[in-house]
Amino acid sequence: MMLQPDRISPISVALLLYLATSIGHAFAPRSVLTLRRITQPSNPRQASSTDADDGGMFFASASDETLLARPGNATNDDAATADAGQVNNQSSRQSRVLGSQELLMLPRQYGPKRDKVIFPQMNHVSCAILSATPSDTVLQKALDAAMQAHPLLHCRVDGDGEPDKRIDLFQMVRQGEPNPCTFVSEPNLFSALDVLKVIDVPSTDREALDQSWQKSFNKNLDDGSWCDAAKGPLWKVELHRTASSSGPCALLFSFNHAISDQSSANRLLDQILRNVAELESLGSTTPAIPQTMPLALEDSVMGVSRRWSDVQMDGVGTDTIRYVVNKAAEGLRNPVIVPDSAGRKEGSNPLNALTIISGRAAGGQDNESQSRRSTLQFRSLSRESTSALLAKCRENEVSISNALTAAAALTATDVIDNGKPKRKSRNYKVLQSLDMRRYGAKLDQGESVACMAGSMDLMLGPLADRSGRTLKQTYTPEAATIFWNLARE
């Protein structure tokens, strides 16, 4: 997760935004730290939805009275022109073959002989707490207007993606794809009535509201059974509201991660809130400008016609080979694979690279994936704490994301082996999310809802067991240096 701290400044109570993202059951059960904050861009018209990465945090705001959000319906001519495979007539049916990152997010089988064991879809969930509750009619119209701008909000997935044949020992390498998984978007295929669910909380109490949306958040993060990719839609939104029409409400978004990342969710929220404000003040909304089908992540980063199927080995250079070798060598450092159960023995074995190649997850058996559950903790940071953290990060020239990553690794040292130290040092591998719009060819400008989320592994350590507790109990300037050096790794 990453953050652009230079572009935030606090204001008074307006919008409390709770956001978290799931990278799927491959790493579940997992802990997600979800932060709450109230801010406003110094110049809302210059702020961009790409200011936030696909991590678990985003700082956004709206006027306390009008719920205004910054505009975000500009066209993206560069991206539209770059991909010859896209349909440029925005009012017609559009389609595109899914990229590799998008395929990773769909429900899929583990192998040709494992039809009964389906790897669940990866879910992306975020929640915004609004200071006031819009009416059903206004919210439906606001959703309908916003949906018109984004092809992936009214799409389904055609094709089974099965290869002509599998050509390796484990039957994991595929050759040929006669019926590829394909996004198919048709105007007005879905409306707000297809994605919106209203949940009435029988109380005016804020605690009851929080309990309601948090319960749904937990469920939707793991359970993607609501989404039938072959029929669509690939997202939904819940309005959690109390008995008080003037009280706060929660908008809970759930996406198949193949069509969204956090920057996209932020943009969609902005547009919905702007539409709500216009409908409540003017009775109508500014028509959205429909976008073309967004590029796949690899097309945005590498350029069109640069996918593996296009370049094969001719496009693999020494830098790519060196990267692959270095990632493979990380197993020799025997990093902690989080989370493993207390009794599991195989999670810290370097030979598990072979089990991954054969289709088995390093953290556990394939057939256990359906039963895994995320572990969520919802927390908030005050304006003062956030400002202090930001100041310290600037002083030490590290991002807030890296500071939180270091804190997470140190906390893990306190609870490894159920908190019973074995007086040993371990390496920790932390998955950090990236907004891939910032890299390579940068063809995607963030104008349309899409998944442009990548990730990288950070190897931290070796760290002695209970390092976090030791640092807190014996805090000194020297101890603080240890923390900031870890954040710089």
User: Confidence class of residue 343 from pLDDT cuts 50, 70 and 90?
Assistant: very low
Counting the structural domains of the chain, the total is: 1
Residue 489 has a pLDDT of 86
Q: Lowest mean pLDDT of 122-126, 174-178, 378-382, name the range.
A: 174-178
pLDDT for the residue numbered 418:
75
What average pLDDT does range 359-386 have in this prediction?
A: 69
Closest-CA residue to 58 (of 313, 304, 267): 267
Return the pLDDT at 419: 67
* Model pLDDT, residue 120: 80
Q: What is the mean pLDDT of residues 24-51?
A: 31
Distance (Å, whole) CA 194 – CA 200: 18
CA distance 451 to 461: 31
pLDDT score recorded for residue 38: 28
Domain that holds residue 64: 1-489
Give the tens place of pLDDT for each residue, 278-298.
999 999 999 988 999 999 998
Q: What is the pLDDT of residue 111?
A: 58
Share of the chain above pLDDT 90, in %: 40
312 pLDDT more than 60: no
Burial of 33 by CB count in 10 Å (0-12 exposed, 13-18 middle, 19+ buried)? middle
Distance, in Å, from the CA atom of 403 to the CA atom of 385, rounded to the nearest integer, reads 14
Q: How confident is the model at residue 379 (pLDDT cuts 50, 70, 90)?
A: confident
Q: Is 50 exceeded by the pLDDT of residue 308?
A: yes
Q: pLDDT for 324-338, tens place per residue?
A: 677 666 666 666 654
Token duo for residue 384: 């003062």
Percent helix, strand, coil in the chain (nearest 5)? 35, 20, 45
| Local confidence band at 16 (pLDDT 50, 70, 90 cut-offs) | very low
The pLDDT assigned to 163 comes to 83
State the average pLDDT over residues 461-475: 87
* 374-386 mean pLDDT: 87
What confidence score (pLDDT) does residue 113 get? Answer: 60
Alpha carbons 7 and 60: distance in angstroms, whole number: 10
> Both tokens of residue 60?
């956004």
Mean pLDDT on 459-465: 89
Residue 423 in tokens: 């007086």
The band of 459, judged by pLDDT with boundaries at 50, 70 and 90, is confident
User: What does the pLDDT read at residue 116?
Assistant: 59
pLDDT at 48: 33
- At residue 315, the 3 state secondary structure works out as helix
Residue pLDDT, tens place only, 248-266: 999 999 999 999 999 999 9
Separation between Cα atoms, residue 262 and residue 292, nearest integer Å: 20
* pLDDT at res. 75: 33
CATH code at position 252: 3.30.559.10
Q: Is the pLDDT of residue 236 over 60?
A: yes
Which pLDDT does position 477 carry in this prediction?
86
Give residue 165's pLDDT. Answer: 82
pLDDT reading at 4 higher than 50: no
What band does 360 get if pLDDT is binned at 50, 70 and 90?
A: very low
Q: How confident is the model at residue 3 (pLDDT cuts 50, 70, 90)?
A: very low
| pLDDT confidence bin for 187, thresholds 50/70/90 | confident
- Among 162-166, 204-208, 240-244, 444-448, the least confident range: 162-166
Average pLDDT of the residues in 371-384: 83
pTM of the model: 0.73
Residue that the structure tokens 């998944």 belong to: 451
Mean pLDDT of the chain: 74
* Opening angle at CA 344, ends 342 and 346, nearest 5: 145
CA 190 to chain centre: 23
